[in-house]
Structure 1
Amino acid sequence: MDGGRFIKRVEELSGLDRERAELTTRATLVMLGTRIDPGEADDLAAQLPDSLAACLPHEGEAERFGPDEFKRRVARIVPLANDQAPKAIRAVFTALSEAVTEGELRQVLGQLGADYEPLVGLPTGTHAHASR
């Protein structure tokens, strides 16, 4: 999936306009790249178009923060209202699930705690390896 199609998919799923869908996608990928291990961020970036792969930080240790902080950070960057953020973030993860291999998606989601499941709309933590 190319970058334009990815953003269009987020736009369709979230109900946001194109500009906000793109900002949400980039902010979500930046936060995801910050949250997962650098090697996993590199692996994920390798399966995304260059324009989106550039959003994934590849250095430093992963920051451990919960889904509420993830949501707050994305909402602050875009900006989004608190009630808009979960749907928009979920749209990015849905598009991500359509753009990368199932194995890579499981690896990424496996690094998120099970408490991320309601936010991303997909099995996370140990559930990521048991599902799909």
Structure 2
Amino acid sequence: MEYSGFLQITQSEAGGDSAETERAARAVLTTLAERLSRGRAHDLLRQLPTEIKPWLDTERSAERFDLAEFLRRVAEREGVDPDSAERDARAVFAALGRAVSDDAIAAVAEELPRDFEPLIAEARSRFSQVMPTERFVAAVAERARLDPSAARRAADAVLEALAHRVTAGEIDHLIPRLPFELREPFRRGGGAAERMTLDRFLALIGDIEGVEPFEASEHARAVFTVLREAVGDDDYFTLTAGLPPDHNVLLPPP
């Protein structure tokens, strides 16, 4: 693949003008080089256009960081917000998947932690759609009749409380499907699979959010409804299947 083709694919996936596209590609691939071993980065170099090679050419040892840190570095290099950085990273990985062999992508995937799966999926053309944070929060705001800042607090609180109820494995599985800025509250819950009644669950949401339990109940209903839309039925039902029957009042109907 030629350099112009690589940038064309990136631009078609992410939008923006040519300068923004090149800046995004440079930011993503430079950051990827920091995460990969020298050998793995050099394997990619051999299959990529000459113009791209300086971005991946590294003699440093691989740094260990997760997807959140990867996107933070991309955002910093581009001068954009985290959601835009994630969109651009997906676009660049989509172009990467068309520029190098399947074996090369598989080798990259072996070095990256599980939370990079949405990006690897782009490179493998399994387009895993993630709802943007802004859209998630706007949907919660509409359903719960809240302003955007209050809806964001509600989403954070419900996801953090929910993560207290589920296992660490379920958190790891769902994290890649959540909007980027809502992943940290979900991680904070800890995945302790804590047993609690509905009243205790609502009290926990209320404590985190700073509202009364009856308000927490309304907010939880809104967040659960939007969560199902965001992650899809299969992951949603897997996540909520372990909740006790008294929690069903918070869940959208089948």
Same fold (TM over 0.5): yes
Q: Corresponding residue for 1:3? A: 3
Contact 2:94 2:122 in 1 (8 A): no
The offset of 1:8, in angstroms, is 1.2
| Paired position in structure 1 for 2:51 | 51
Deviation at 1:17, TM superposition (A): 1.6
Q: How does 1:18-33 map to 2 (within 5 A)?
A: 18-33=18-33
Q: CA RMSD in A?
A: 1.5
For residues 121 and 62 of structure 1, the distance between their equivalents in structure 2, rounded to whole angstroms, comes to 18
* 1:121 CA displacement: 5.0
Q: 1:123, CA displacement in angstroms? A: 8.1
Q: Which runs of 5+ in 1 are unaligned?
A: 125-132
TM-score of the superposed pair, with normalisation by structure 2: 0.47
Q: Is the 8 A contact 1:114 1:123 kept in 2?
A: no
| Kept in 2: contact 1:109–1:123 (CA 8 A) | no
State the structure with bigger RCO (CA 8 A, min sep 6), 1 or 2: 1
Q: Which has the larger radius of gyration?
A: 2
- Residue 224 of structure 2 aligns with which residue? none
Contact 2:90–2:122 (CA under 8 A) maintained in structure 1: no
- 2:79 partner amino acid: P
* Structure-2 separation of matches of 1:97 and 1:82: 22
Please tell me whether residue 82 in structure 1 is matched to residue 78 in structure 2: no
CA distance in 2 between counterparts of 1:109 and 1:80 reads: 26
1:1-132 matches, within 5 Å, as 1-118=1-118, 120-122=119-121
Distance 1:103 1:121 in 2: 12
Unaligned 5+ segments in structure 2 are: 124-254
Question: Does the residue aligned with 2:115 lie in a helix, a strand or coil?
Answer: helix
**Code of the aligned partner of 1:82:** P
- AA paired with 1:122? A
**C-alpha contact 1:93 1:121 (8 A) present in aligned 2:** yes
Q: 2: distance between equivalents of 1:55 and 1:80?
A: 19
More helix by share: 2
Report SS of the residue matched to 2:121: coil
Q: Which amino acid aligns with 2:61?
A: E
- Counterparts of 2:60 and 2:6, CA distance in 1: 27
Q: Which runs of 4+ in 1 moved over 6 A?
A: none
TM-score by length of 1: 0.88
2:93 touches 2:122 (CA, 8 Å); kept in 1?
Answer: no
The 3-state SS of whatever aligns with 2:58 is coil
Aligned residue for 1:13, secondary structure, equals helix
- Corresponding pairs, count: 123
